[in-house]
Amino acid sequence: MAVNVVCDIDNLVAIKHVLVSVSDKTGLDTFIPALIETCPDVVIYSTGGTYTAIKDMLKDKTAAHLVQVSDYTGQPETQGGLVKTLDFKIYLGILTEKYNPAHQADLARTSAVAIDMVVCNLYPFAKTVAKEGVTVEEARSNIDIGGPTMVRASAKNYLRVASVVNPEDYPVIIEKLKAAGGKLDLKSRYELSCKAFAHTAEYDSAIAKFLGAYPLEKVPTTYNLMHK
């Protein structure tokens, strides 16, 4: 397999396109307005409850700054909201490299944009399984798929993308953006990447630990098993 090695990167990256999908909306009501104030031309892409929350914050500024992911991708949310962000156009935008001509050609071909920041935290799996009497099915339904994929993709491409998983980092990010004229430096992107991978590692560990404590023979037989 050929290894893609990047040679040319920018220290400072302007934050123009931001993908936001959060389970924990703490601090979002101050972060989003501050982000728009600091980066006046920023466009935010979002889904579901996060989209609704941001729309309520922005009010008359919604049209200028907020786009529903399904409108951007041309694909409606499917399976009751289970599939929202798992789309080629989204991941092309996250993983694209600025100085790779083939990547830039792909963006143009698909009318996609380069996503500069991903703000995402995951379904509350650990909180769910900490409840007394929680079932395996309740736990399974709280296993996030799209979130970890977004986090990992953006963290991998820290050379150009900021992966934000902790609301406690919002104020610091805004301060750095203000100091650099709406741009974020490589050191900050790298540090955010490290936090993002730690976040997904902790999440997967919690899932493995919980499911590992319930061998199949001990799982309650409440399913209607289909035999063919």
- pTM value is 0.90
Q: Is the pLDDT of residue 154 over 90?
A: yes
pLDDT, tens only, 157-207: 999 999 999 999 999 999 999 999 999 999 999 999 999 999 999 999 999
pLDDT, tens only, 106-121: 999 999 999 999 999 9
- Range of weakest confidence among 69-83, 126-140, 162-176, 184-198: 69-83
Average pLDDT over residues 150-155: 97
Work out the pLDDT band at 222, boundaries 50, 70, 90.
low
Give the pLDDT of residue 83: 60
What does pLDDT average to over the chain? 89
Task: Answer for the pair 25, 48: CB distance below 8 angstroms, yes or no.
Answer: no
**Whose CA is closest to 189, among 5, 14, 7?**
14
Work out the pLDDT band at 138, boundaries 50, 70, 90.
confident
Q: Rounded distance, CA 72 to CA 39, Å?
A: 20
CB atoms within 10 A of CB 143: 18
The residues, any chain, with a CB within 8 Å of residue 46's CB and separated by 6 or more, are: 19, 20, 21, 54, 66, 67, 68, 69
* 3-state DSSP assignment of residue 157: coil
Q: Is the pLDDT of residue 32 over 70?
A: yes
Q: Is the pLDDT of residue 4 over 80?
A: no
Q: Which residue type occupies 157?
A: N
Domains assigned to the chain: 12-214 (3.40.50.1380)
The pair of three-digit structure tokens given for residue 12, joined into one six-digit string: 């400072």
**Whose CA is closest to 195, among 168, 171, 175, 159?**
168
What CA dihedral angle connects 27, 62, 161 and 3, to 10 degrees? 130
CB atoms within 10 A of CB 127: 12
The percent of residues above 90 in pLDDT, for the chain, comes to 66
Work out the pLDDT band at 129, boundaries 50, 70, 90.
confident
b/e for 1-30, b at 16 or more Cβ within 10 A? eeeeeeeeeeeebbbbbbbbbbbeeebbee
**Whose CA is closest to 58, among 24, 93, 87, 20?**
20
